[in-house]
Amino acid sequence: MSRGFYAATAAMMSDVNRFETVANNLANINTHGFKRHQTLHHDFQEGFVKRVQSARLRLSLNAEGQLERERVQDVARPIGQIGTGTYVTSSWTHFDPGALQATESPLDLALQGEGFFTVAGPDGEIHFTRNGHFKLNAEGELVTHEGLNLLGRNGAIRLDPAAAFSVDADGQIVSEGEVVDQLVLVDFDRPQLLVNEGANRYIAIEGMEPRPSTAKVSQGFLEQANVDVASEMVQMISALRSYQISQKALQSEDEMTGKLIEVGRV
């Protein structure tokens, strides 16, 4: 298969991945604490192009003054480099903060600054999230809407459903004048390395050590997604147009190959 087929196909696959990433960002525009993703692309190794070698006739005079003919090969002179397509290397998460939306619900919490809430994942592993839309389960525990426990220093946070409670800026939970627990808020030096587990939750890879977060808690607020609709639409249109261009290039390559095959049959 020619290099043109590979380059056009690789470009189309990259554009599909970029389109799907943008579509996912737009689909989560109303997801609290959602962080937009961006695909990272890398070029395949460039090919070094040389001029095709050709034979030429060299004329010279020998010692007797007679004309001699010698067939020699030209040196393959370099022309330059040619790209061979791109591929998606990874997906990058942008953790810049989203705007805060007032809800007046004491169960809604938002973080101002860098950091994450910690929740007990379904697999027993600690998960991290920016989504502060919590509720009370039947046992009076603060949980996510998937039923995962929000974690405090004492583990699962239990509250009296009949009693009012407050959460201060440092994450201290107070009910009826007594400190119930303290939210465990953490941050990472390179949060972009966190693995997205879905449902707006992340896990740390080996070697990533969480540290205490300096983020402040705002009770009665929720963080909105940090997705800019206008910017995402521009990215979507760009990916679509790039896909169409690569598709036409692939069709042209196919037509050219077909004509070459027909010529070869003559």
Q: Exposed e or buried b for every residue in 108-123, given b needs 16+ CB within 10 A?
A: bbbbeebbbbbbbbee
Of 131, 135, 115, the closest CA to residue 200 belongs to 131
Instruction: Write the CA distances from 126 to 25, 154, 164, 203, integer angstroms.
Output: 25, 14, 28, 7
Within 13 Å, how many C-alpha atoms sit on residue 242's CB side?
A: 20
**What residues contact residue 256 under an 8 Å CB cut-off, 6+ apart?**
none
Distance between first and last Cα of the chain: 22
Of 36, 31, 37, 226, the closest CA to residue 144 belongs to 31
Calculate mean pLDDT across residues 182-211. Answer: 94
Residues 37 and 73 in one domain: no
Structure tokens at 46: 């460039």
Residues 73 and 89 in one domain: no
Number of domains in the chain: 3
- For residue range 141-150, list pLDDT tens digits in order: 999 999 999 9
Of 169, 178, 180, the closest CA to residue 221 belongs to 169
Contact 221, 112 (CB under 8 A): no
Residues 40 and 62 in one domain: no
**For the chain, percent of residues with pLDDT exceeding 70:** 78
The residue with greater pLDDT, 13 or 154, is: 154
- Is a pLDDT exceeding 90 seen at residue 153? yes
Instruction: Write the CA distances from 209 to 93, 104, 157, 203, integer angstroms.
Output: 18, 34, 23, 11
CB atoms within 10 A of CB 208: 14
- Is a pLDDT exceeding 80 seen at residue 136? yes
The residue with greater pLDDT, 30 or 264, is: 30
Q: What is the DSSP letter of 181?
A: E
Residues 109 and 215 in one domain: yes
- Is a pLDDT exceeding 50 seen at residue 48? no
Calculate mean pLDDT across residues 123-149. Answer: 96
Residues 144 and 158 in one domain: yes
How far apart CA 166 and CA 144 sit, in angstroms, is 18
How far apart CA 75 and CA 87 sit, in angstroms, is 34
Residues 13 and 29 in one domain: yes
DSSP-derived 3-state class of residue 78: strand
**For the chain, percent of residues with pLDDT exceeding 90:** 60
Burial (0-12, 13-18, 19+ Cβ within 10 Å), 258? exposed
- 100 strand-pairing partners: 223
Calculate mean pLDDT across residues 246-262. Answer: 78
pTM for the complete prediction? 0.75
Average pLDDT, the chain: 85
pLDDT band with cut points at 50, 70 and 90 for residue 58: low
pLDDT at 47: 46
pLDDT band with cut points at 50, 70 and 90 for residue 65: low
Residues 133 and 202 in one domain: yes
Residues 42 and 59 in one domain: no
Residues 106 and 145 in one domain: yes
DSSP 139-160: TSBEEETTSPBBEETTEE-B--
Residues 52 and 162 in one domain: no
Structural domain including 75 reads 47-82
DSSP-derived 3-state class of residue 221: strand
